Structure 1
């Protein structure tokens, strides 16, 4: 009771705030109808100033500049082993400074053309145009998925389509999700249950930067403002991250158990967490980017499910497989790899078995040793199928009623979310806009696959998109509610493998259209929810999203061409990069999946004669478990059965190769403290500090990575790269020494020459 009163006291508002609630909602009504989701209720203000303009001249200048910068940097990172991120928090900070500067120096004169008027400076740089810049840049600052298709064809098949065809492929795969988002927004954006958790960090960050009325009344420790608090912890993390990222990289992969037997092959496989190494059992990490701010605010049930899946898969199942050499696990050398091998353990090279049209030559394949994959890589597909089956039935069983009610009420129910109700002050984007845009993109999609010989017939695009439509609602609901969900990459490749067997390019293209239709739809829906939280006019949102998508796609392609032209032998494996930075690992993983499902097809890889034929049972396992839970919830209603989500659990089990299995213990510890203890027992402290602290720590760590990448790792130019002298915490063993245990990976014996355990 005391907590509620304390929270209510914090919600006192001034007369000016009440004026900003909105024309259609009074403050008293808003407070009474506040969101049913506690975290949203604690951090999203119930205020809105409808006079603020979001789509300004400053928006166009700053969003274009940062979209170009972000798309180039993210594309640059895609081909390199030294990963980095183009932090949206950096964009928020830099655009705020530039936006306020432009508001001071630009002329305020209005130019009138017909019935329209334009001012370069419509007033102070406001929170809505600031958030809109961030949304446009986040839409642009990715490596478009079609880049994987184009780079793989170029690097491994020596086939490059024209620039026009490439741009149509990129933009259509990025834009098909718009039509889907327009249709599904009423189910995945408007209801209060659809939180889209990462947006809450942005809401706090923008309000803190602009010192909005609600945030003026909140003081942090020592009376600091929100932004002073942010800068103190951001600077602290920036300085701290130099230790693990530069001075002492051993702290990234702190595999302390390996020190017991540093030359042992089995110890390496089980306890090393280094890239390309083992399962990382009980390893630690002191690098914040591997822990992440999401551990502080993602729902506890989601995180416990993810970490539980990782522990079961990599700490329990994998050791059983490895130590008993099940499926000849030790024959392939490295336990966690996406590469393909012959059954005799030799690495597989597709180029010796291709026909001129890039299909597999059945005669050559049948004359050689059959191809297979490592056991842990095969299990990834089993876990993916469990996640997909479980996601659909979990949403139907535990959230189907709400979705059905939403459909029947057509978003006119009396239980409407307060934040969506406040958006009624703005004109909505007509469904016709989304429909026309979608039809144009779909027509161009069918045109590009036919004209540019991508092995996929026009109706193949329709099948891929249909799969995306079928799965977007259940998976989107899961992502919005839990913060995570499965992808469609495996399902789309499997479907194409059966429909168009032996066609590698067709498989990659089919996967790109099916997977990206859903992925982009979810990204756009998440942005739409942020727009609801920030009260940004929907038509301005639509314009910003489309603009960011086009700018990002164009500069993704330009950057890809430049990198491939200059780094080709390193990226395709013909030569080894002396700096160790250019490996092309992401295109290689994409290529490996294309070979499994495209060149050979699921019938060969997972057919009855395959040792991995059992993976199809994953669909049934995943589908049945939520039904059992639902039945138990009717029998024992006092237990929250829905908190265990098999799709989330299976997602954790398939963490590799999409992510390294690093820092499980540290991440679990942070989530238990923040979500398990602070959220439940110190809710006011949690609501005040969590999101701004998470943003500060993530931003500081990202700034360190960007600084090192540009100035000390040769990002700007290889000549300015600097290698710190070797010492205990960063020693890389030169060839020929007798001290292999001194490498950063304490389990990794030099040149893989093990002294024991290699039977």
Structure 2
């Protein structure tokens, strides 16, 4: 099938800057032209090193093969990810699996399908327009990535179905999912000139995809690069992918102690203070290691060094310094609640607070019952999470305004079209743009449908409440997405949306969940779409093809998320709502319960009670002031001492690191930091050629191998296909457990903490 537009068949390459004849006759001219070529390249060094500046405009992205393969893998991805949502052990539908499988199938279809064309009403079609090319392959991956997720709105539909016995009909459910997933499209269209076209908006995770697609298609620049022992890029990829796939069976299945390698705990494993400080499951994880690649991640090999150091600095400051001090001194009663890191609510004496005991039948708060008892309390370190979340949010806005505001204003004035544009932006001008009217119309249609859904089905959230949620998304999307594009890190909107709705619509948990979903997802989906647009930018996919591909994947994802949800809830209702326990331990409603519980806390209990200015947690709002002021101070210092990179001291990222593990599982800090320093500091600085050639393809191969292992364990050893296929590893030192399934005499697999709370040491016993 032919693409929407047929741009002129030209190829932009290095030869446009270096004339072959002149270069042969005049070496000095060749050097000068090569320097001009490098000057015209991206201003971001990592992008210059890995993103080719060539384009074959004759390649067609939307073909018959695209429609078949994108639909097939989008359906599988949506079903699998929604299926995992209700399972006790989650797997991952890896985009690299899609890329590999779709490449093999696309090449096969190119060989087998007829090459002739046929005409329908004067429109020519071809089932096989030529070899399977890099652009249709990339667009397949982009479509599938938009489909292969468990839509956030599913939490709302599951919670109302399981806990209120109220099932929104198919039309309302599909519109709720579709509008929450698509409301960000119009925003992405407006913001693309600021967040996609400028060179400094890198969107770092796309660099791995760029290298992978060019490697597997063996494009011109990658043909000349030979790896170790003369291997091709893909031979190198498969060697390390298979190696990681085999290795990951050890930490993920045979020896989980290697996931939580808390060696410091072994010094005194039954000491309560040692457990709270050194355990990476329940405590701060000080100096804890993890030999599971899933805990480290390939992003440590290529995300900006300064941003990673800021993030790890925040983690170390909070979990390795503040947590031990607060625990050992019992500051604010930290020890009272049993464990330092948890999001649960408690009474002042440390017993669990049951919010259901103080709710009316309509799930609003029974004020008389609540006031008759002791107030709900949070652990001090969880309250700190709210404080640093506000620091991160306001710090993000302030940092972007101070350090990148001039650039954003410049891009707005230039409106994309000046001679100083990024080279990839100039190359994309050959393709017809998506008119702003398309995005604007799409946004208003989705907003109107969202109002219809709220007024008809989600009766607790009035139309004006929805508009407030969308306004929050509009106000904060630009700085958050700019921060993410530049550094790879950015705050979310889930906390601020919960609190705002808790104030404007108190006592309405369903309204709170829906408000959060629209406010948070408008930013989150916009961010995902902008990231995909940047990938299309790097790969030179026509914008109109991108628009169709993104929407197609989203539409398929919505439909099959919903169908999978209905099938699972109907077959596992009693297990998911907590009335019975799954005898095989495979199904759980914990994720829905957590979402519902959050809606009850902030919708029914309300932030006015939890965060009253006169109460114990009133300090959290000062985080907004702290985050707003610090970047201004750093910006002033950058003017006084311009040789110091003050912008690298990003308070938003530091605060984000401080709030990274509100419920524990801090095992990734030390291992991730080591990997970051090796690849992003030492190798990138002192062996740049090696980093350019190996780092990104190595990151993609390791991530792919680890993801495949998790999927294989889940399907074939963990009962994913059938409970009869579940295979338990025999108990041994690295996987010690009793026949009852407990890690006795230890509290957890990290060999830290006494079983059943029986301690032999630690202060305050």
* Shared fold, TM over 0.5: yes
SS at match of 1:208: helix
Q: How has the CA–CA distance of structure 1 residues 737 and 344 changed in structure 2, closer, same or farther, with 3 Å as cutoff?
A: closer
Within the alignment, does 1:409 sit opposite 2:378 as a pair?
Answer: no
Offset from partner CA, 1:426-455 (integer Å, 9 cap, x none): 111111111111111000101111101341
Within the alignment, does 1:165 sit opposite 2:156 as a pair?
Answer: no
User: Which residue does the alignment assign to 1:612?
Assistant: 617
Moved more, 255-264 or 293-302: 255-264
Judge conservation of contact 1:71–1:142 (CA < 8 Å) in 2: yes
User: Which residue does the alignment assign to 1:392?
Assistant: 397
For 1:295-334, list aligned pairs within 5 A: 295-334=300-339
CA distance in 2, matches of 1:659, 1:455: 34
User: Which residue does the alignment assign to 2:130?
Assistant: 123
Moved more, 571-580 or 290-299: 571-580
User: Which residue does the alignment assign to 2:366?
Assistant: 361
CA distance in 1, matches of 2:748, 2:692: 43
User: Which residue does the alignment assign to 2:654?
Assistant: 649
Offset from partner CA, 1:27-75 (integer Å, 9 cap, x none): 7676541000000001100110000000011111111111111111212
CA distance in 2, matches of 1:738, 1:721: 19
Moved more, 353-362 or 195-204: 353-362
Q: What's the offset of the Cα at 1:279?
A: 1.8
Q: How has the CA–CA distance of structure 1 residues 124 and 307 changed in structure 2, closer, same or farther, with 3 Å as cutoff?
A: same
For 1:555-566, list aligned pairs within 5 A: 555-566=560-571
Moved more, 53-62 or 745-754: 745-754
Q: What's the offset of the Cα at 1:735?
A: 4.9
Judge conservation of contact 2:342–2:664 (CA < 8 Å) in 1: no
CA distance in 2, matches of 1:140, 1:54: 18
Judge conservation of contact 1:273–1:280 (CA < 8 Å) in 2: yes
Q: What's the offset of the Cα at 1:669?
A: 0.6
**Aligned-residue RMSD, C-alpha:** 2.0
Q: Decide which of 203, 208, 217 is 2:210's aligned counterpart.
A: 203
Judge conservation of contact 1:731–1:743 (CA < 8 Å) in 2: no
CA distance in 1, matches of 2:182, 2:663: 24
SS at match of 1:745: coil
User: Which residue does the alignment assign to 1:336?
Assistant: 341
CA distance in 2, matches of 1:607, 1:514: 23
Offset from partner CA, 1:733-755 (integer Å, 9 cap, x none): 34599951395231132233334
User: Which residue does the alignment assign to 1:137?
Assistant: 144
Q: What's the offset of the Cα at 1:599?
A: 1.0
Q: How has the CA–CA distance of structure 1 residues 576 and 144 changed in structure 2, closer, same or farther, with 3 Å as cutoff?
A: same
Offset from partner CA, 1:648-694 (integer Å, 9 cap, x none): 11000000237732121111111001111111111111111011000
Offset from partner CA, 1:512-563 (integer Å, 9 cap, x none): 0000000000100000000010000100000000011111111112222223
For 1:628-647, list aligned pairs within 5 A: 628-647=633-652
User: Which residue does the alignment assign to 2:29?
Assistant: none
Q: How has the CA–CA distance of structure 1 residues 374 and 571 changed in structure 2, closer, same or farther, with 3 Å as cutoff?
A: farther
Q: How has the CA–CA distance of structure 1 residues 595 and 335 changed in structure 2, closer, same or farther, with 3 Å as cutoff?
A: farther
User: Which residue does the alignment assign to 1:21?
Assistant: 12
CA distance in 2, matches of 1:737, 1:382: 36
CA distance in 2, matches of 1:162, 1:260: 58
CA distance in 2, matches of 1:427, 1:575: 57
For 1:523-542, list aligned pairs within 5 A: 523-542=528-547
User: Which residue does the alignment assign to 1:502?
Assistant: 507
Offset from partner CA, 1:693-746 (integer Å, 9 cap, x none): 000000000000000000000111111110011111111234599951395231
Instruction: Identify unmatched segments of 5+ residues in structure 2.
Output: 1-8, 19-32
Judge conservation of contact 2:341–2:663 (CA < 8 Å) in 1: no
CA distance in 1, matches of 2:723, 2:634: 56
CA distance in 1, matches of 2:15, 2:242: 42
Q: How has the CA–CA distance of structure 1 residues 738 and 665 changed in structure 2, closer, same or farther, with 3 Å as cutoff?
A: closer
Q: How has the CA–CA distance of structure 1 residues 659 and 327 changed in structure 2, closer, same or farther, with 3 Å as cutoff?
A: closer
User: Which residue does the alignment assign to 2:426?
Assistant: 421
Q: What's the offset of the Cα at 1:256?
A: 1.2
CA distance in 1, matches of 2:180, 2:663: 21
CA distance in 1, matches of 2:447, 2:748: 52
CA distance in 1, matches of 2:747, 2:447: 55
Within the alignment, does 1:378 sit opposite 2:383 as a pair?
Answer: yes
TM-score normalized with structure 2 length: 0.94
SS at match of 1:118: strand
Judge conservation of contact 1:732–1:742 (CA < 8 Å) in 2: no
Instruction: Identify unmatched segments of 5+ residues in structure 1.
Output: 1-17
SS at match of 2:206: helix
For 1:2-401, list aligned pairs within 5 A: 20-21=11-12, 31-274=38-281, 277-401=282-406
Judge conservation of contact 2:458–2:510 (CA < 8 Å) in 1: no
CA distance in 1, matches of 2:663, 2:155: 15
Q: What's the offset of the Cα at 1:368?
A: 2.4
Q: What's the offset of the Cα at 1:182?
A: 0.3
Offset from partner CA, 1:608-666 (integer Å, 9 cap, x none): 34211100010001111100000101110111100111001100000023773212111
Within the alignment, does 1:484 sit opposite 2:489 as a pair?
Answer: yes
Judge conservation of contact 2:12–2:56 (CA < 8 Å) in 1: yes
User: Which residue does the alignment assign to 1:11?
Assistant: none
Judge conservation of contact 1:66–1:137 (CA < 8 Å) in 2: yes
For 1:592-741, list aligned pairs within 5 A: 592-657=597-662, 660-735=665-740, 739-741=744-746
User: Which residue does the alignment assign to 1:457?
Assistant: 462
Judge conservation of contact 2:747–2:756 (CA < 8 Å) in 1: no
Moved more, 654-663 or 241-250: 654-663
CA distance in 1, matches of 2:461, 2:615: 27
Q: What's the offset of the Cα at 1:299?
A: 0.4
TM-score normalized with structure 1 length: 0.94
Offset from partner CA, 1:215-264 (integer Å, 9 cap, x none): 00000000000000000000100011011111111100111111122222
SS at match of 1:321: helix
SS at match of 1:634: helix
Offset from partner CA, 1:565-606 (integer Å, 9 cap, x none): 333344344444444443433323323332332111111001
Aligned residues: 740
User: Which residue does the alignment assign to 2:548?
Assistant: 543
Moved more, 587-596 or 35-44: 587-596
Judge conservation of contact 1:308–1:649 (CA < 8 Å) in 2: yes
Structure 1 runs (4+) deviating above 6 angstroms are: 22-25
SS at match of 1:729: helix
Judge conservation of contact 2:586–2:719 (CA < 8 Å) in 1: no
CA distance in 2, matches of 1:516, 1:552: 15
Q: What's the offset of the Cα at 1:355?
A: 2.6
CA distance in 2, matches of 1:452, 1:392: 35
Moved more, 68-77 or 475-484: 68-77
CA distance in 2, matches of 1:54, 1:192: 24
Within the alignment, does 1:571 sit opposite 2:562 as a pair?
Answer: no
CA distance in 2, matches of 1:588, 1:659: 19
User: Which residue does the alignment assign to 1:516?
Assistant: 521
CA distance in 1, matches of 2:743, 2:721: 36
CA distance in 2, matches of 1:331, 1:229: 53
Judge conservation of contact 1:741–1:748 (CA < 8 Å) in 2: yes
CA distance in 2, matches of 1:377, 1:596: 14
Moved more, 197-206 or 364-373: 364-373
Moved more, 371-380 or 97-106: 371-380
CA distance in 2, matches of 1:593, 1:738: 30
User: Which residue does the alignment assign to 2:22?
Assistant: none
Offset from partner CA, 1:312-351 (integer Å, 9 cap, x none): 1111111122222223222322322222223333323333
